[in-house]
Structure 1
Amino acid sequence: MAEIRQRNVTSAEQPREAPPDAAGKREEEEEEPALPPDLSGDKLAQASDKTTEALDSALKDLTPRWRNWVIRGIFTWLMIFAFAFIIYLGPLALVLLIMGIQIKCFHEIINIGYVVYKSYELPWFRTLSWYFLFASNYFFYGESLIEYFGVLLSRTEFLSAFVTYHRFISFSLYVAGFVGFVFSLVKKHYLKQFTLFGWTHVTLLIVVTQSHLIIQNVFEGLVWLLVPVSMIICNDIMAYMFGFFFGKTPLIKLSPKKTWEGFIGGALSTIIFGIILSYGLVQFDFFVCPIHYDDVKGALSMECERNPVFRVTEYNLPETIQGLFALARIPWSSIKIYPFILHSIALSMFASVIGPFGGFFASGFKRAFKIKDFGDTIPGHGGIMDRFDCQFLMATFVHVYHFSFIRIPNPQKLLQHVLMLKPHEQLQVFNLLRDRLAERGILNATQLL
């Protein structure tokens, strides 16, 4: 119990009312304790600490509030430019980026559990946690690769076995970890070990499952990643800006620095930004076409016949609006627009209204363990998880939204599954399809054209 007693908040760290600053705003209602050294002890965090110290020294003439604003702004733009460069490299580079972010987020969350229970010397906790991460990634990423590139993988004799028995191998890997956990149980630490076992699995649910959905969004077309991610970034930046300059009314106790002014300003900015960005991206097939393996070209392809949501469509305006236009002598009775822009409004509303609750959830989690940030990887921002807490929630919404309202049968994916069959099975599918089309008169009608 010594470790837990050491982590209790001292009387100096208890919530207290801060005097108003020069701008009439209150400082944060609860003074955040310093980040425990154990949570930022890796080489990346140490490098970040040195960078922060150098910037603090260079900006020493500024007040702490403005110094943090400048540092945060510099690294925000650095991250934006780095992200743009990775987009330029293509979808595979984005997939590798997502995997890297996922691993770092998992490391930050698991490290918190390790620090909390470090004094108990629980056997195999970190080893088993990373093993379960590997097993989960093998299952989820394998499912995605088989779904989109099964034909390519099946052509290699070595990989074809992994394609055929993927789920059995995945289950075997998990069972091995499960058995290893049971063997690691120590009588005096049962409760703590099962707590950490649950901790690991909840982390896998939050991090691995969500990153899997993000990659699914990438394969459906880069626009389904870029627009939602950019909306969250825009909302975060503009909410910070509006809150910094105009914020006076606290929004939620979990994040005392969040204000209603920042929340509303960020929401309006996100909707406008989403419409402009969506219009720009839908002009290019590179962003809207799903990624698939072209069996004829023998290579990955991003060419397609556009989904109707990415084609200009004419909509009749409501009669009330037509009447108002008629009074103003404006001859508009319809409007031509990309349907995706209308969908982007729905996405931006979720990003600005519900998305921040991912951040509030993370704030509650950090307060529960008396830490300021998940890590010190990014100066002015905290850890990787501090930047992506809202992105994971948004990724799930985009996946569900796309599946429910946008997705249409993809002939390329159906063909992938057929081509993975044995030759006699492919012929059987062909004959069955031909007979069904003939029965319905579709085949004859097509021949007559």
Structure 2
Amino acid sequence: MKEEDREKTRNHKEKWNNLGLRTGLSVILIGGFAVLVKMGRSFLIGFIILLSGIVFYEVLRVFMQIRSIWSIKRIFSTGSEETKKGGNLPIGFFWGCFFLISLMNYSKVLFPGRYRVVYHVMMWLQFAWILWFVHLLRGGSYRMKIFHLSMVLMTILGLMKCTEAAINNVNRGIRWFVYPCLLVAINDTFAYLVGKHLGQTPLTKLSPKKTVEGFLGGGIATVLLAIPTARMVQLGMCYKRRMEPFDALSLAVLASVIAPIGGILASGYKRAFNAKHFSRILPGHGGISDRIDCQLIMQLVSNMYLAGISRKQTLKGFVQEININLSQSEKLELVKLLVISYSKE
């Protein structure tokens, strides 16, 4: 009995230590997020791009069973076992693929007004990447190599779509990025609390800890707190114009119904490769990907809603698109056309 009591005491202590660690890290993350929002659009976009790289590392780590982040130092080596996983394709090949697609995707943001020059450079880099892949096809294992390449490409393209949507929301107005993030946080928190105390019916086998009661409780709480949260964002970020109640409630419903899919997909991915965590970057949280899986899906859905249904665009947003997509000479030409058009009226 004494041994059982000691075991129970040890488990209870570990549980509280883990809860304390998670709570402390959560407070730090919330504080860091608030600081980033206050720093402005450019820092926020840079952080989003950085996060995409971290998420790709974690997904690749699970897929290729990379033991340590320091394996990145040897990513272009074909001599170590860690870079021979999956048909002898080096990990560096996949990182090269990620950086190439990222540069093409973010070139409008990183190099405003010089998109065409960057595009031409990227075109030649694509040819070099294709030649590299043809070179790596030597030695057989064609099916495995092509399968791994297809998996990684799909991961990159999906990740790019989500991060591009997040950047679009920031350019629309930072509150259109912050508000969906807060909705997901509310949904996650109440789903966890309701599921822990009242949950009995499993939601899906892919994620055994998620329950139907938690899903419904999180959804109801998110919808009820949607308008107060929108008001809090408006006051906290000093916006003069209120968010339309219809938009606030619509995004809350999307956060309740669609955003949890991100967590289910992440759980299914880890189960497919027998992984417990994405990484140890955030102790007690299972990695960055486990924290922002629902956020990525929510940013994508929010962007689709705002662009296709609500059509939220401001004058600043149009100016931002002009700065990103047009060169200096094209901007001058646009000004001339606007002056001519205005003078004719």
Shorter chain as normaliser: what TM range? 0.7 to 0.9
- Native 8 Å contact 2:202 2:211 kept in 1: yes
Q: Does 1:111 align with 2:61?
A: yes
Q: Which has the larger radius of gyration?
A: 1
The verdict on how the C-alpha distance between 1:430 and 1:67 changes in structure 2, with shifts beyond 3 A counting, is closer
Give the superposition deviation at 1:138. Answer: 1.1
Q: Does 1:81 align with 2:24?
A: no
Q: Does 1:377 align with 2:278?
A: no
Q: Residue 134 of structure 1: which of 96, 99, 117 is its match? A: 99
Unaligned runs of 5+ in 2: 1-8, 67-80
Q: Does 1:194 align with 2:101?
A: no
Aligned pair count reads 318
- Native 8 Å contact 1:227 1:274 kept in 2: no
1:57-80 alpha-carbon deviations (Å, 9 max, x no partner): xx9472555554443333222211
Pairwise mapping of residues 379-398 of structure 1 onto structure 2 (< 5 A)?
A: 379-398=283-302
- Aligned-residue CA RMSD in angstroms? 2.8
Residue matched to 2:328: 420
Give the superposition deviation at 1:358. Answer: 1.2
1:239-274 alpha-carbon deviations (Å, 9 max, x no partner): 111112222222211111111221122112222333
The verdict on how the C-alpha distance between 1:227 and 1:424 changes in structure 2, with shifts beyond 3 A counting, is closer
Unaligned runs of 5+ in 1: 1-58, 151-161, 289-309, 312-337, 444-449
* Structure 1 counterpart of 2:92, one-letter code: T
Q: Percent same amino acid at aligned positions?
A: 27
- Native 8 Å contact 2:227 2:249 kept in 1: yes
Q: Distance in 1 between matches of 2:33 and 2:331?
A: 44
Q: Distance in 1 between matches of 2:16 and 2:263?
A: 23
Q: Distance in 1 between matches of 2:300 and 2:331?
A: 38
Residue matched to 2:262: 358
Residue matched to 1:243: 195
1:118-163 alpha-carbon deviations (Å, 9 max, x no partner): 56574453111111111112111112356xx53xxxxxxxxxxx43
Q: Secondary structure at the match of 1:257?
A: strand
* Structure 2 counterpart of 1:95, one-letter code: I
Give the superposition deviation at 1:107. Answer: 0.5
Q: Secondary structure at the match of 1:188?
A: coil
Give the superposition deviation at 1:343. Answer: 0.6
Q: Residue 247 of structure 2: which of 316, 327, 343 is its match? A: 343
Q: Secondary structure at the match of 1:251?
A: strand
Higher helix share: 2
- Native 8 Å contact 2:234 2:243 kept in 1: no
Report the TM-score when normalising by structure 2.
0.82
Report the TM-score when normalising by structure 1.
0.64
Residue matched to 1:143: 108
The verdict on how the C-alpha distance between 1:243 and 1:431 changes in structure 2, with shifts beyond 3 A counting, is closer
* Structure 2 counterpart of 1:212, one-letter code: E
- Native 8 Å contact 2:230 2:243 kept in 1: no
- Native 8 Å contact 2:203 2:210 kept in 1: yes
* Structure 2 counterpart of 1:379, one-letter code: P
* Structure 1 counterpart of 2:134, one-letter code: V
